[in-house]
Structure 1
Amino acid sequence: MDFSVLFNVAHLKTLGSGLLVTLQVAAGAIVLSFIFGIILGTLRYSRIPVISWLATLYIETIRNLPLLLIIFFGWFGLKELGFDMPATTSVIISMTVFTSALVAEIVRSGLNSVDKGLIEAARSQGFTWFQTMRHIIMPIALKRMIPPMVSQFVSLIKDTALATAINLAELTHEAQIIYNKYYNGTVPLLIAVALTYFVINYSLSLFSRRLEKKLAG
């Protein structure tokens, strides 16, 4: 194995550029899917006629589709419909569409885990549904959502590699460009990419554990 490929300045710049795109896509999709996931999960939990049903329909439909298909539709499908946009934006939208449905299920499960007695007590004190959700249910549920939520976002970061299918210049794609061009250093490059993903995701997991302890304390 030729590890010298990793000590080439041009190669490191290329990998660094790919990493920035990966982080950009991941950050954008995480923020947006967190926001829309909470909204969708709350709407499904609310059991408001029609609205709850529509949220459920969206969640169940998207959850049962492969992410790669959604990425393809976000890139090729939207172009055919006249929506031309940068690949980075397209992937962020596609991953948000997919991940928000998964986050919504985490939110719904978290909300369902709250003791019904607390809800009844709040309503008996004159709290409206919105006030009960804001002050009682959501703060408790959010603490319980942290582990599965972080796990889902770790998966999202890893899934950014799927964007190489539409030639987005993210980390995995840039590594592929290098070893296809120079016909060597494939394994070292893949090891470097794997370690990069590991460091990012493990750091996120450590942050999650600290946050859990802080909220528990």
Structure 2
Amino acid sequence: MILSAFSATNLHYLMGGLGITIAVSVISIIISFIFGTLFGVILYEEVPYFSRTVQLIVNTIRNLPLLLLIFFTYFALPKLGIELNAFTATVAAMSVFESTMVSQIIRGGLLSVGKGQSEGALSTGMNRWQTLWYILLPQGLKNSIPPLISQFISLVKDTSLATAIVLTEMMFRSQVIYGQNPNYMIPMFALVTALYFIVNYSLSLLSKWFEKRLSL
């Protein structure tokens, strides 16, 4: 009975959900890294008025539940004339939320670079933006890799929240499978656990690879 939970039909259906989970994660990671880095630089540079506005937005969003943002993008935005399907709504909500988290990590990475680095660059004739681009940002990003990977691992796990808006990702599809037969619940939980572990452990290995490459 338990082995029948792993039938070809069920596995094929579940792997389709894993593909959606990975797609949401990859797209959200890319978008949040780009905007999070931009926001982190703005916060680090302390641009008058502009940085304070960004800080207010970041502090507001990062202290909201991610599920609330998912509900807002899927249920509330259509009331404003913006229709999003479950996949797009999830990516949008997660990208916005993760961008604010990434911005704090990037800002911390930049702050971890010694002031002597920027002072030395400025003394050689570089302007502030050249110093940021060529000296501070590469070192800041390197210092940010471990917390960034931890944040992205959390992002992968948080994709399961999209079951609330019926996104047919991996967790949702596992519920469909064991909903047909309660005896499939534990096998499905075990398999989903293993798949999440594989994906997130792969991210951890990728983090170590990046750190080694950057240390060369």
Kindly report which structure 2 residues correspond to 1:166-181, keeping only aligned pairs within 5 A, or say none: 166-181=165-180
Aligned-pair CA distance for 1:110: 0.3
User: Which residue does the alignment assign to 1:78?
Assistant: 77
User: Which residue does the alignment assign to 1:156?
Assistant: 155
User: Which residue does the alignment assign to 1:3?
Assistant: 3
Superposed CA offset, 1:93-135 (max 9, x none): 0000000000000000000011111111211222111100001
1:203 partnered with 2:208? no
- Could you tell me how far apart the structure 2 residues matched to 1:29 and 1:156 are? 8
- Could you tell me how far apart the structure 2 residues matched to 1:125 and 1:213 are? 29
1:68 partnered with 2:67? yes
- Could you tell me how far apart the structure 2 residues matched to 1:77 and 1:159 are? 20
- Could you tell me how far apart the structure 1 residues matched to 2:175 and 2:51 are? 44
User: Which residue does the alignment assign to 1:93?
Assistant: 92
User: Which residue does the alignment assign to 1:24?
Assistant: 23
- Could you tell me how far apart the structure 1 residues matched to 2:205 and 2:123 are? 40
Kindly report which structure 2 residues correspond to 1:128-139, keeping only aligned pairs within 5 A, or say none: 128-139=127-138
Superposed CA offset, 1:183-217 (max 9, x none): 32100001100100000000110111121112112
The two structures, once aligned, show a CA RMSD in angstroms of 1.0
How many residue pairs end up in the alignment?
216
Aligned-pair CA distance for 1:3: 3.0
For the 8 Å contact 2:102–2:148, the answer to whether it is kept is yes
- Could you tell me how far apart the structure 1 residues matched to 2:14 and 2:144 are? 34
Q: Tell me the TM-score normalised to structure 2 length.
A: 0.97
What is the one-letter code of the residue matched to 1:5?
Answer: A
Partner SS for 2:183: coil
| Percent identity over paired residues | 44
User: Which residue does the alignment assign to 2:187?
Assistant: 188
- Could you tell me how far apart the structure 2 residues matched to 1:141 and 1:41 are? 10
User: Which residue does the alignment assign to 2:214?
Assistant: 215
- Could you tell me how far apart the structure 2 residues matched to 1:134 and 1:55 are? 20
User: Which residue does the alignment assign to 2:33?
Assistant: 34
For the 8 Å contact 2:73–2:84, the answer to whether it is kept is no
Superposed CA offset, 1:51-71 (max 9, x none): 111111111111111111111
Aligned-pair CA distance for 1:77: 1.0
What is the one-letter code of the residue matched to 1:2?
Answer: I
What is the one-letter code of the residue matched to 2:45?
Answer: S
Displacement over 6 Å in runs of 4+: none
Structure 1 gaps, min length 5 = none
Partner SS for 1:185: helix
